[in-house]
Structure 1
Amino acid sequence: MSHGQGPAERLFGATKRLIASLLSNGEARLRLAVVELEEERARLVTLLLLAGISLLMVMLGLTVLTLFVVVLFWETHRLLAIAASALVLLGGGLALGAWVVHLAKRPTLLKSTLRHLATDRALMETSRDD
């Protein structure tokens, strides 16, 4: 008798290779997800620091500008200057707030990982149909 592989041994070997391939693919996707999460965390910390410093500088600048406008029109139209400054600041704040909400709704977390998983699923579905 020859020492060839029987059908059960070939099936077992193919199953073993399939599981190893799935684990390898899963590990690659998990590593990609971890890298993306680390990049997103670093980006978020940088954005928060820059936004905080920017916000502080803009608030100080707007305070000085408002005081300048009020002092400039103190003798003639001080109440109108105060009201106009308040309306401009409130309008700008509301517009920027709406823009921030719009930006926050955009999905960016794990974008590449999700795209690669969708590609993997599509490839598996097309190979299953063949």
Structure 2
Amino acid sequence: MSITAAVGRISANFLDLARTRLELATIELQEGTQRLVGYLAWALAAAVLALFALALVVLFVLVLFWDSHRLLAVGGLAAVFALGCAIAVMKLRAGLAARPPLLPATLAELRKDAAALKGEHADGL
């Protein structure tokens, strides 16, 4: 076997390996995108419904206390909303800090490939 044939086979194997890893990354991205779109749709529906419910509760409380303690009612509702906003921001930050890495299976396979090319065993990692 000539050197050019060996280089050609190695190149073909490398391209096939890269294609396989790219297909895996594409599948993972598609799955992640589908999950994200589903989450966003449900989150939007929940937000719209919660906004309507919240507006009605605020209106109810304001009408209930309009003659006696309207300023206390408005201040109390403002404090509740500020507290809710602070809790939501803290949960969002915690969720973003704890999110899993992007394309974990693809990265694991690429690490295995790099170890194999270096001559290391995957079990020793």
Report the equivalent of 1:122.
115
Structure 2 residue 36 is matched with structure 1 residue 31 = no
Q: Identical aligned pairs, as a percentage?
A: 34
The one of 39, 42, 53 equivalent to 1:50 is 42
Report the equivalent of 1:89.
81
More displaced, 66-75 or 49-58?
A: 66-75
Give 1:31 deviation, angstroms.
0.4
Residue 68 of structure 2 aligns to a residue in which SS?
A: coil
Structure 2 residue 10 is matched with structure 1 residue 18 = yes
Give 1:94 deviation, angstroms.
2.7
How many residue pairs are counted as aligned between the two chains?
A: 120
Report the equivalent of 1:78.
70
Report the equivalent of 1:98.
90
CA-based RMSD? 2.4
State how far apart, in whole Å, the 1-side matches of 2:88 and 2:117 are. 45
State how far apart, in whole Å, the 2-side matches of 1:110 and 1:68 are. 48
Give 1:12 deviation, angstroms.
4.2
Give 1:63 deviation, angstroms.
1.1
TM-score normalised by L of structure 2: 0.77
Structure 1 unaligned residues grouped into runs of 5+: 1-8
> Which of these two proteins has the greater Rg computed from alpha carbons?
1
The superposition leaves residues 83-129 of structure 1 with CA deviations (integer Å, 9 ceiling, x where unpaired) of 1111111221232133224434535432221222122212322449x
Structure 2 unaligned residues grouped into runs of 5+: none
State how far apart, in whole Å, the 2-side matches of 1:64 and 1:119 are. 57
